[in-house]
Structure 1
Amino acid sequence: MKHRLRIAARLTAASAHATAPAPERAEAPELVRPPAGREPPVAGAGYRRSWFWTAYDALAQALDHRFGWDRLPTPLGLAVLVGIRNRLRKHNLYDPGRLPSAGPPPPVPDPKGHEVRRTANGSYNDVDHPAMGMAGTRFGRNVPLEHAYAETPERVMTPNPRMISRRLMTRTRFQPARSLNVLAATWLQFMIRDWFSHGISPSDDPWTIPLEPGDDWPEPLLTIPRVPADPTRPPGYEGPATSLNTLTHWWDLSLVYGLSDEEQRALRTGTRGRIRHRPSGTRAMAGGKADPTREPGFWLGLVMMQGLFEREHNAICERLHAEYPAWGDDELFERARLINAALVAKIHTVEWTPAVISHPTAVTGLRANWWGLASEPINRALGRISRSETISGIPGSRTDHFGVPFSITEEFAAVYRMHPLIPDDYSLRHLRDDSRIRDTTLRELSGPAALRVASAISAADLLYSFGTEYPGAIVLHNFPRLLQEFERPDGKLVDLAATDLIRCRELGVPRYNEFRRLLNLRPASGFDTLTDDPALAEELREVYADRLEDVDLIVGMFAEKRPEGFAFSDTAFRVFILMASRRLNSDRFFTPDYAERVYTRTGLDWIANSSMTSVILRHHPELRPALHHVGNAFAPWRRSGVTA
């Protein structure tokens, strides 16, 4: 209790500081601070607060706590998920943009034509709040700000992150996720690299982690770079943790299209809206101008996805040009970009996510996000039959920020740390007969080596190889070994498992039990209730010295029993329930502007008639036999020469 009072006092003091005169500081023209325009409404104001919805949400919570939404019949389970999401929207959206900032927000120039096109830097998605969600704005939070303080240096090291990595994360044997293929893992990184980045970590003053006796780390010390400091925080700031997203917060495929007009001009061919294939495979992932092959995290999977959706953009341009021959290069580029980004959002919503959480109730709910409970056939035949997102889906509904300016949240980033999906070893094979081209490792598919592999092996063979292999299960003792001793392009060695733990601790993401409480979930009452594996429970008790409240969020999520069909935890699912739909609800290009006047009839039909399978086959028709009778492109494909 005293701890909570101290935190509340610090937060009150930080809020009071917001009205003080801003100290002089160097200009940072690429950074944007709190949104300009009229002040947004109070968090959650007016959202389903009638007596009916209050009672409904309370009943949904009671049923969830008593039975679990996943154990209920699908119609009742869906009704409970609606109540869960209502509560999350009302109680788990917070805006660090209201915290002290060193100076007023810089002016955001009004770009020409923003009404019908996405700006490169994400501004003017909401014309009343033009800076909302643009590159360089703060990450939001899904936990109250008084619970979002960075841990002290002593706590950041408790328990030792390297010790947890070695004892609980290390992949002793590969545990496959047999309902998925490696394209599912590839897609996830493609999305993450498009959605959020904390920027390039400084090289000075890293975290230094003591090594246990017998640790085989090849260097005398294990160092992990810190998250870059938020330069918008005033000197002496002691409030909740804040950091900036160097990418845009919107679902706009900026990984393909870049974050500036200059990047886009360099990308475009100047003819019919088309874009050129970049030899480096993808844009600089931290938003800079560096060679992306030299940035941590660059690998063959990104090259494959980048190339596929570059080709998709150009195919859309050709279709639009045939339909609207009078349109110039700019018009074709901007409309194709809108269509391509929306298609990616649709694929993630109704294909990738249902593949990784294939519980019938969850799948129905995810599809309803796009088409509504009225179903896809009704939506395609009649369009929207209701203003309600529940009945007719989010695309085309009204924009709703639920009282809080939109942003990606630190908690959303935290639950997407799913590195166990990545295999260490890969078998690259020929599509024609499934014969082996070469066996290789993640290290040999990363950095500049990725481009050598991509140039030596056809895209169809690479897609086939990834489509027919399993990714790893998202559980403990299944972290890629090569990522626990990951050599960055600058030659530095990093343990990414330890890094994942430190990132949550230094960014103020609560630990497992506290995180569950703040999401209105019951915390684990003991190590034996945290997991249904008695041996694992004993390992957890030993590593965390019998201190249940110290268990890290990622460790708890990897350990907990999952709902049927789920590749990841129910704890993570609560953040997805909230944020996956919010990313559509808040974006005007998925709400009122998801319309013919912006996308064209041709564009809307392209999105409606396309899937990940059709995108792949549009550019690689030779893969049709491998995808024959495969209902979801992220499920295992058929091997060549293998009959059904």
Structure 2
Amino acid sequence: MGNSVSALKRDIDDARALRADALDVTPPNEDGRRPRPRTPLGTVVAFNDNVYHELSDLYDDFRNAWTGQGQDDRHLLLEKVLTWMAKNSHRPIEHKLESIVIGLLYKDLPHPPAGYLSLPDEHVVNRSLQKVPYAFRSADGSDYNVLWPSLGKAGLPYARTVSSTHPLPASSLPDPSLVFDMLLKRDKFEPHPAGVSSLFFAFADLVIHSIFNTDHNNPTINKASSYLDLSPLYGSSDKEFDTVRRKDGTGRLFEDVFADSRLLFMPPSACALLVLFSRNHNYTADKIYAINESGTYRPPRELTAEARLAQDEEIFQRARLVNCGFFMQVILGDYVGAILGLVRDGHSWRLKILDSYRDTDHAVAPRGEGNVVSIEFNLMYRWHAAISAQDTAWVENEFRELFPGKDLAKLTLDDLKKSYRSKMNSADPKAWAFGGLKRDAEGRFSDDDLAKIIQDATEWDAGAFKARGVPEAMKFVELLAIEQARKLGVCSLNEFRRFMGLKPYANFSEWNPDESVANAARMLYHDIENLELYVGMQAEEAKEPGPGAGLCPGYTLSRAIISDAVCLSRGDRFMTTELTPQNLTSWGYADVQFDTDDGSYGGLLTKLLFRTLPGHYGARSAYAHFPFLVPARFQGTMAARDGALVKKYTWDRPTPAEVRTDRDFPRSEEGYMARIGEIAGHDGYAVDTLERLVLGDAALATHRQSFARFADAQIRKESLGGEVKYVDVVRDVINMVPVYWIAALIKPRVQERDLEHHHHRGYHPEKYFEAFADLADYVYINTAPEDEFSLRARTAKFAQSIIEHIDAGSAMVHATRSDLITRIAFRALETLPKITLPGGGAASPTSPASPDFFMDSDAPCE
């Protein structure tokens, strides 16, 4: 880290030194020529004086934070840099700075690791992979790095990030029980200062259990791979895979299953979220099978047993790639967005960790080269202080049932092993249940029950990170962590900080200014250099909420989390170099992309909730868009930032959607009118008058002639070839004729040439078609709730643009323009064909979808 930070400091110093004045930024050489700045960052900053001034504060922050011993993280330099980039994402300098920051964070940790806790017995990798024309993840993490096939594989030792050179024999360290009682045991519950919800930490459980699974018979071994491969859902071996797979030719899993029984010992919200990812796998497999992009899938009943298994394998592996990609994007969008406070502050910008870029020396920046998690980071991800008050009560009740009559503070690892065996009365994941839920005849849990668990966790405040914040019920788990770290020779807190390029603490008061905590640590450890990594991170002073700070753990933990997130994601080739339409299918690749305009500020968990719990979240529900923030608290935060924005969301707890019948049809127009008013303004509706003026019998006869004229012109213009002509009837005729007709109707002077050559407001004719289709979709069609915000924004912008161009002399200007335009658009687009015609059937000659409809011989064609 130190060398990387020094390089960044040198770049900023170069930029400052190069600025002689606003234009002539460098003095000339003896030959009169001006030298070239030493770095690309220096070049960009030096030649943009405005950006220079904006970055000058960052330079001063850097100068103040850099001590010579390392970066003083109390100056929040990284947070300030990330916040600046979020606010200036449109500037070219941001992209260069972003690549530098990602490089720094990635290089915080060695690749590959320099040491391990032990040596593996043998480097065996999974060589049973099929030779197929697409890449997919092995079950155990083999072959993620093609040069080091076992790098990060499940069943191998943890890496050691920091080699400790500070003599710290266990006999000289304080009793773990005393350490817990004086520094870690919760004195009182304090809600998370930034309003982070309990559901955030339920999702964190999935992240943590994906990459850490310590073998209790040999704690140097990690039974999980070092990749975010959703192993709690699928497992970490082919044998575990087989417990959740149907293998029936569809690529699907059994209903609502997951492979990792450890999750049954977590609060129910973690299991509920994992079930949603299980459902998402099946949704994805169904889509891949139905779309059948390559045309090779057939109904399983038509296949031989061998062919059916091969088809199942391909669909399963592709669906798994998509689901893992979805999981990763939730991590980078929702999870990291909450950690950095980006969602809270209204920023949809995210670090583009997965992207390809070049370093300042033009070398290709490494990605997809593998990863191995370390023991230090295993200890880092034990966030028991953040357990909510409600989940604390659940843990206490579970432990009382598992250990009747036992003092929870005196439990041992043997007690835990025995309780595990007693709780796991079935090895079949199809029979597992949690939170008192029951499975139906098909093996599914009730949507209502899952939604209740998840919405409860969304409402519950997580606990604050702080010294003396861990529930007493977790004491034996904390003691195991302290004892394990000592046995494995884990480094001290200051050794870890030096390794990360952070300034080491000079004394206990600098580590935690709360004198009660500092004095207790001083009595236990005597010298700050003796403070253990695990205890030091858990009881360190926590950050305050602010720009770039959303999770608000201790300073050391906060810095390490971001570096680890970059390494975990950027080191995974299936999230980087192999994240392609070829492997995920075109539909799957599109499905894992962010929509930054969907109302959730760059999240993807919103789509998962809408998709897997249909009808349980309204399209504008804050519970769906911001599930990692407590709605009641975030509403006040958003209102203080933007009073108008807060009204675009609903803040009450969602209720299941009522079932509609044909008797409700007369009420549907109320919804249409409300949507029309939203996108074009509420100015009253003279619907009957408008329809007589524009959609009456006489008007329709005129419109029919216009359609015929436009259709003939389009066919002549778009036809290719000689004696035999070719024309794309759907794209160039059927899609475009209504566009020209609507344009001529609402502004008679707008002719085809105007749309073709002037593109007023930046729209091409094809874009007009898409915009009118969006208009009809938003107003009349039952759109997917995850598209509500982006569709409404696009539609409102287009509607206002069209209204402004309505001819002042037209019949509509004195009536209700907005409703009429929408109705006209819908009526016109009703005539358009469906792009997909099953069986290749042609439209009827009398159908509006047929070219003959527009070219009726009785209609005049000019």
Same fold by TM-score greater than 0.5: yes
Q: In percent, how many aligned pairs have the same letter?
A: 20
1:612 to 581, 587, 605: 605
1:313 to 255, 259, 281: 281
2:269 to 301, 322, 326: 301
Partners of 1:121 and 1:248 within 8 A in 2: yes
- Cα distance in 1 between the residues matched to 2:498 and 2:3: 22
Counterpart of 2:177 in structure 1 is: 162
1:264 to 234, 241, 258: 241
Deviation at 1:108, TM superposition (A): 4.8
**How has the CA–CA distance of structure 1 residues 259 and 474 changed in structure 2, closer, same or farther, with 3 Å as cutoff?**
same
Counterpart of 2:77 in structure 1 is: 69
TM-score by length of 1: 0.68
- Cα distance in 1 between the residues matched to 2:528 and 2:3: 36
Deviation at 1:636, TM superposition (A): 1.4
**How has the CA–CA distance of structure 1 residues 517 and 255 changed in structure 2, closer, same or farther, with 3 Å as cutoff?**
same
Counterpart of 1:140 in structure 2 is: 159
Answering whether residue 653 of structure 2 is matched by residue 640 of structure 1, we say: yes
Q: Which amino acid aligns with 1:95?
A: P
**How has the CA–CA distance of structure 1 residues 85 and 398 changed in structure 2, closer, same or farther, with 3 Å as cutoff?**
closer
**How has the CA–CA distance of structure 1 residues 367 and 527 changed in structure 2, closer, same or farther, with 3 Å as cutoff?**
same
Counterpart of 1:526 in structure 2 is: 507
Partners of 2:197 and 2:629 within 8 A in 1: yes
Deviations 1:305-341 (A, max 9, x none): 2211111101111111221164332221111100101
Aligned pairs for 1:285-434 within 5 A: 285=262, 293=264, 297-324=265-292, 326-327=296-297, 328-358=311-341, 367-370=350-353, 387-388=357-358, 399=367, 401=369, 406-426=371-391
2:465 to 443, 465, 474: 474
Q: Which amino acid aligns with 1:636?
A: V
Q: Which amino acid aligns with 1:127?
A: V
- Cα distance in 2 between the residues matched to 1:555 and 1:284: 28
- Secondary structure (helix, strand or coil) at the match of 2:251 reads coil
**How has the CA–CA distance of structure 1 residues 108 and 603 changed in structure 2, closer, same or farther, with 3 Å as cutoff?**
closer
**How has the CA–CA distance of structure 1 residues 335 and 191 changed in structure 2, closer, same or farther, with 3 Å as cutoff?**
same
Q: Which amino acid aligns with 1:260?
A: S
Q: Which amino acid aligns with 2:462?
A: P
- Cα distance in 2 between the residues matched to 1:619 and 1:71: 35
- Cα distance in 1 between the residues matched to 2:266 and 2:335: 21
After superposition, the CA RMSD in angstroms is: 4.0
**How has the CA–CA distance of structure 1 residues 525 and 107 changed in structure 2, closer, same or farther, with 3 Å as cutoff?**
closer
Answering whether residue 186 of structure 2 is matched by residue 186 of structure 1, we say: no
- Secondary structure (helix, strand or coil) at the match of 1:267 reads coil
Deviation at 1:90, TM superposition (A): 4.7
**How has the CA–CA distance of structure 1 residues 302 and 71 changed in structure 2, closer, same or farther, with 3 Å as cutoff?**
closer
Deviates more, 1:614-623 or 1:627-636: 627-636
Deviation at 1:131, TM superposition (A): 1.4
Q: Which amino acid aligns with 1:266?
A: T
Partners of 1:63 and 1:69 within 8 A in 2: no
Answering whether residue 57 of structure 2 is matched by residue 56 of structure 1, we say: no
- Cα distance in 2 between the residues matched to 1:87 and 1:371: 14
- Cα distance in 2 between the residues matched to 1:498 and 1:100: 23
Counterpart of 1:275 in structure 2 is: 253
Deviations 1:541-591 (A, max 9, x none): 2343x3222222233333224253342123123323332112222222112
Q: Which amino acid aligns with 2:187?
A: T
Deviation at 1:246, TM superposition (A): 0.9
- Cα distance in 1 between the residues matched to 2:488 and 2:346: 32
Counterpart of 1:593 in structure 2 is: 578
**How has the CA–CA distance of structure 1 residues 301 and 163 changed in structure 2, closer, same or farther, with 3 Å as cutoff?**
same
- Cα distance in 2 between the residues matched to 1:105 and 1:257: 23
- Cα distance in 1 between the residues matched to 2:616 and 2:166: 48
2:141 to 110, 113, 122: 122
Unaligned segments of structure 2, at least 5 residues = 15-58, 68-74, 87-93, 298-310, 403-419, 425-432, 440-447, 595-602, 632-650, 656-862
The structure, 1 or 2, with the larger RCO (C-alpha pairs under 8 Å, 6+ apart) is 1
- Cα distance in 2 between the residues matched to 1:363 and 1:550: 42
Counterpart of 2:670 in structure 1 is: none
Aligned pairs for 1:555-566 within 5 A: 555-557=535-537, 558-562=539-543, 564=546, 565=549, 566=551
Unaligned segments of structure 1, at least 5 residues = 1-43, 203-227, 230-242, 286-291, 373-385, 429-437, 485-494
- Secondary structure (helix, strand or coil) at the match of 1:111 reads coil
- Secondary structure (helix, strand or coil) at the match of 1:244 reads strand
Answering whether residue 91 of structure 2 is matched by residue 111 of structure 1, we say: no
1:621 to 609, 614, 617: 614
Larger helix proportion of the pair: 2
Deviates more, 1:314-323 or 1:260-269: 260-269
Deviation at 1:86, TM superposition (A): 4.6
Deviation at 1:250, TM superposition (A): 1.4
Q: Which amino acid aligns with 2:627?
A: A
Rg bigger for which structure?
A: 2
Deviation at 1:105, TM superposition (A): 2.9
Deviations 1:482-540 (A, max 9, x none): 212xxxxxxxxxx1222222233223322222221222211122222112323332333
Counterpart of 1:464 in structure 2 is: 455
- Secondary structure (helix, strand or coil) at the match of 1:453 reads coil
- Secondary structure (helix, strand or coil) at the match of 1:251 reads coil
